[in-house]
Structures are given as C-alpha cells and as structure tokens.
Amino acid sequence: MKIIDAHMHYFNVDGFKEVAARAGYENTSACWQQICEDNNIVFSVAMGNTEDVPSCFGGISPRLIDLNAPFDDVVYSQPANIGYCLGVKSELITLENAEKTAMEFEYYAKKPQCVGIKIYPGYRPVYVYDKRHWPLFELARAYDLPVAVHTGDTASSDARLRYAHPLTVDEAAVDFPDVKFVICHCGNPWFADATEVAAKNPNVYIDLSGLLEGIPGAGFYDRQKAYFDYLSMWLNYMGRWDKIMYGSDWPLVNISDYIAILSRVVPEEHHEKFFYDNALHVYGRIKNLLSLS
C-alpha cells in the first residue's frame, strides 16, 4: 500500500534531535528517506518551521524547511518526494502589514513544491479566524492551497490552548468556504468538536498526525484501547472517510508503530483513502510532484 504522510516536519534544529532519538531515529534527511523506503511512503508534506527567511516585500516572511540543506528559493534543495506548507508567524502579522505578508507568501506559493499554508494557533496567541490571516486565506483561494491549522494539545507549557480549539476552525471555514482547511491532530483530545466541524463544513478535513510520541511498541494499543475506541467512535459518527488523512508529525513518533496503530483505528476498507487518496485531493499539487519524485 502506498502512503502519503500529510503532516511531518523537516527542520534542522537541536530540539528535534532529541525528539527523533526518543522515536528511534536521527533527525536527518537520510533517515527520513530510509523510513519512506521501509514503509512505502511515496510523498511527504512538511510543515514550515524555519525562522530566518528574509523579507522581500516589507511583510512577514514564511517559515520554510531545511533538514536536507538550507532552503534555496531558486533551485529546490530538499528531496523531490517532499513538499512544504508555508508556516505563518501570526504574532508578527498586523492589519497594517498583512497585505505585504501575503506578497511574501505568494513568492513561494508560485513554486510547485509549495503545497499549502500552516498556521500555529496555541503556539502563537492568535485565533485562526483573526482578520490578520484573511489576506493569506485569499492567497490560498487564488492558488488552491489548503490551510493546515494546529489544533489541540501543544508540546510546550507556555502555549495557550484556547487559541487551538478545533471549534475555532469553523469560523474561518464559514468565512472562506472556497478554501480547504485541515484540522491537524484531529483537535486531540477534542475529537468530538473536530469531527463535528469537519462533518458540518464541506471545506474542512482532518489529519490524524501527532496523537502519539516516541516508540509505542507492542501492547500499546491494547493498553490505551479506551482512547482509541473514543477516537474511532467520533470518526464513525462523522462517517466521512474521505475527509481524514494519515500524518505522522515526524520526528515525534516511530513511523512503523504509528502506521500499525492507525491501521487499527481506521477500518481496513478505508485504508486506501486514509493513507493515500485523501491527501491527493486535499493537497492537490502532490499529483504533479509525484511524477517528479
């Protein structure tokens, strides 16, 4: 079975070295390519994390990816089987610089390897529906780029959870019905709210990335069966298996273990949609990039 990882990270930073080690890996490009070969992952969507991208138009520049090499905006310096979402520094955007920020993002949106935009509510104390994001949503609509939104639990205690609740995505989805939004992490642990927002809005999707960390190992599913049953209950309530995507949040979790666990959460008859087809629909540029990878 071919797999698309619709949510991972490709960031050369010391903290990710420790995270990767806990999952049994090294935070290197070579390690990820071996993981892809071992698990038949044919394409990956990396969320932008870098902070040092220069501004060209007087706005706030996007966050990019750099694990393989420093990002090159002329000759793509990351592997052909990896696309990226432009990370948003919401706390630096104002109503005054929002249009120029959209110009910064458009420079990269024109590049084929850019497959989406990523917003980090919670980590940034700004709601997804804040008007400072509206020019980016207009850009997303113009270029048919989905907007991935961090929701739910955060990795740092100084984040603010109220900004990361999945119900906030409903506001943006209603205001911009022609833009696809992705509720990342299924709003963990607010699965009921996340699935309701996706069920209600035709332009909202879910990824199941980052629900676990490290090496879950044998017996983990059975020990945490109540948690997975709860997740399965709400996915079945939604009943839209064309709306959920596989994602790992690598280097957070051991990939083979995570695939095995989510294969039990999602009914087997929906595996092809979950692991592959749905990502092709949501991140539409992947289709062309697959022919190049």
Residue 114: phi and psi, rounded to 5, are -80, 120
pLDDT tens digits for range 263-289: 999 999 999 999 999 999 999 999 999
Amino acid found at 203: N
Contact 44, 81 (CB under 8 A): yes
- Predicted pLDDT of residue 214: 97
Contact 146, 205 (CB under 8 A): yes
- Predicted pLDDT of residue 293: 66
Paired strand residues for 245:
207
Contact 89, 119 (CB under 8 A): no
Q: Domain containing 267: what range?
A: 3-290
Residue 155: both structure tokens together: 């990795």
pLDDT tens digits for range 78-100: 999 999 999 999 999 999 999 99
The owner of tokens 């990956």 is 44
pLDDT tens digits for range 60-71: 999 999 999 999
Q: Comparing C-alpha atoms, which of 172, 119, 117 is closest to residue 139?
A: 117
Query: What is the number of domains present in the chain?
Result: 1
Q: Residues near 231 by Cβ (< 8 Å), separated by ≥ 6?
A: 186, 191, 211, 265
- Predicted pLDDT of residue 40: 98
- CATH number for the domain including 198? 3.20.20.140
pLDDT in tens, the chain (293 residues): 999 999 999 999 999 999 999 999 999 999 999 999 999 999 999 999 999 899 999 999 999 999 999 999 999 999 999 999 999 999 999 999 999 999 999 999 999 999 999 999 999 999 999 999 999 999 999 999 999 999 999 988 999 999 999 999 999 999 999 999 999 999 999 999 999 999 999 999 999 999 999 999 889 999 999 999 999 999 999 999 999 999 999 999 999 999 999 999 999 999 999 999 999 999 999 999 998 66
Question: How far apart are the C-alpha atoms of 104 and 279, rounded to whole Å?
Answer: 26
Q: pTM for this one?
A: 0.97
Question: How far apart are the C-alpha atoms of 246 and 279, rounded to whole Å?
Answer: 8
Question: How far apart are the C-alpha atoms of 25 and 160, rounded to whole Å?
Answer: 30
Would you give the end-to-end CA distance of the chain in angstroms? 17
Amino acid found at 107: Y
DSSP 8-state symbol, 248: -
Amino acid found at 8: M
Question: How far apart are the C-alpha atoms of 143 and 16, rounded to whole Å?
Answer: 31
The owner of tokens 């070969």 is 37
